Each structure stands twice: as structure tokens, then as C-alpha cells.
Amino acid sequence: MKAKRLLGAALAVGLGLAAITSTTVVAAQPKRGKSGAPAAAPARPAEVPATKKTIALTPAGLAWGMSTKQVAALIDKMLDEAYVPRYKATSPGVKMKALDAELAEEKSAFRRSRIDFGKLPTGIDGTPLKGEYTYLNKESMMTLARADGGKRYFFFIQDKLWKIIDEHALGEGNPRGKDYQSAVVKLATAFGLPGRVTPPEPEKGRYVTEVDWKDAATHFRAIERSESEIAFAYEDLVTLSSLDSLRPNKPVDANAIDPAVASAVRKDEPPPGPPPTEKAGKKK
């Protein structure tokens, strides 16, 4: 749909992808020692590199802390603006009514996309988004489909927007890069400094490589999804620093033994025997 194409263009987040994709850079190659072998990789910096360029959220009006209703109202406004050219080209009558219904459905679909992470597991657990939310901590998510096939996910905690994740395709000729490495180099050029590289850590719920940056208000992560896809995550630094207290209910370790089972096992264990006695006839 033309409206969705316009909407997708408006949903470029961060520095403005024009700043990222218009920069021509050469992929950084690892330095080699005298023997020709790659030199040892530098240690990962403890702190997230801070860019002087603002990681601004778009569209205008989108801000951390907005409620689900406020975000939905902003999406309504964007859709209304995106449909203006189509309304101008449509004559009153049956076609106009069909356009009204189409616009209303798009607005409704976004609201219906809301998922609350309560007591019951959701289908999101089987997607790459697993680990981006927790259960029983008043968290929810809304999804907006883009015309290019990607999606934008809005994450809320206590009904306040604190994270956005955008999915983007990669490949030859793609303005974001042909693969993850080239996309990260473009981002580093746009941000003005290399990001912090974090390798996969399954024990911490991270299964892929991430490279991150931050400014005064937002933490940005470039997430490796596959050879043909990358995800950009934007997180509110204030909320990020308070996540531990905002998530009092911690995820349950699927590999841990159920407390009831552990208790039953302990009950079935034979009581300890008497202390060993000295052998008869042993001289003192």
C-alpha cells in the first residue's frame, strides 16, 4: 500500500538512516602482525561508547515514557497523514468508504497487536525477541508491520514505552549493508566512533553478536539476526538503569529442579547412619 510505504519511510529511527546509508566506507580489516597472522583483538571496553550525535527517535513526537494509548494515537496521526494523497485522489462514494474502512483497519490492527506478558507463555518466546521482555512484571509489546516486510516492535513496562526494535533486511545493494559486518561499519561511521562488540552469551540470554552505542538518553544495539537480517534496538537509559527493580519477578530457570521435586528427593534419601565405631580389639 502507498500509505504503508510512506509510513515505513517515516519510521526510520535514530540518526536518520540517510546519515547511515549515504556514507561510503571501507570495511575495517583486522591489523596483522609481522608474521602475517591477525593481531590479537583488543579487549572489549567496559563502557558503552558515547556518541556526540543524538540518537533521535522518529517520527516527531515519539518519546520514552509514552503510554500504549499515546503511541497508538501517534500511529493514528501518521496513518492519517500517509493517507492524505490517496484521499485527494479518490472521489466521494463507494471508493471513499472503502478507503475509510482500510484506514480504520490499519489503526485497529496496531491496537490488536498488543501482547501482555503475564502468567501465560506467548508465541513470542519462539522468536528472536526472546530475552527482550520478562513475564509477570507488567510488560507488554505492540507490533507495526512495515511495507518493506520488516516490523517495528514497541516495548512497554508499567505502560511506559522504554524500548523499540526495528527489523531490517541486508544484502547486495541494500543501503544498510550487504551483511552484518558492513552494516556495523556504516553505523560506526555515522556515529563517529566504533561500537562495543559483545559476543554471544547464552547463559545471559544473548545468543548472537551485538554492537552498541549510546547518547545522553538512548542505548542503541545493532543485533545480528542472520546473514540477511539485522535488528536495531533503542532503549531508554533511565529505564535500563532501573530494570532490576522494575522486574521483581525473575525468569525461572527451565533447567532447574522444581522445588517440590527437590524436597521429595530429600525426603526419600536414607537418614545418615551412626558414626563409625572403632574396630573391636583395636589397641588404644
Q: Which three cell numbers stand for residue 187?
A: 553505523
CB 39 within 8 A of CB 31: yes
22 burial via Cβ count (<10 Å: 0-12, 13-18, 19+): exposed
Pairing mode of beta strands 139-145, 151-157: antiparallel
151 burial via Cβ count (<10 Å: 0-12, 13-18, 19+): middle
- pLDDT at position 207 is 84
- pLDDT at position 274 is 61
Q: How far apart are CA 195 and CA 222, in angstroms?
A: 9
Which residues have C-beta within 8 Å of that of residue 153, sequence separation ≥ 6? 129, 132, 141, 142, 143, 144, 164, 165, 166
- pLDDT at position 32 is 44
- pLDDT at position 38 is 43
Q: How far apart are CA 276 and CA 279, in angstroms?
A: 9
Q: Which three cell numbers stand for residue 16?
A: 536518520
51 burial via Cβ count (<10 Å: 0-12, 13-18, 19+): buried
- pLDDT at position 257 is 57
What three-state secondary structure class fits 117?
A: strand
pLDDT tens, N- to C-terminus, the chain (284 residues)? 545 544 554 454 444 443 443 333 333 334 444 444 444 444 555 799 999 999 989 889 999 999 999 999 999 999 999 999 999 999 999 999 999 999 999 999 999 999 999 999 999 999 999 999 999 999 999 999 876 778 999 999 999 999 999 999 999 999 999 999 999 999 999 999 999 999 998 887 778 999 999 999 999 999 999 989 999 999 999 999 999 999 999 887 555 555 555 555 555 555 555 655 555 455 54
Which residues have C-beta within 8 Å of that of residue 145, sequence separation ≥ 6? 4, 109, 151
- pLDDT at position 29 is 39
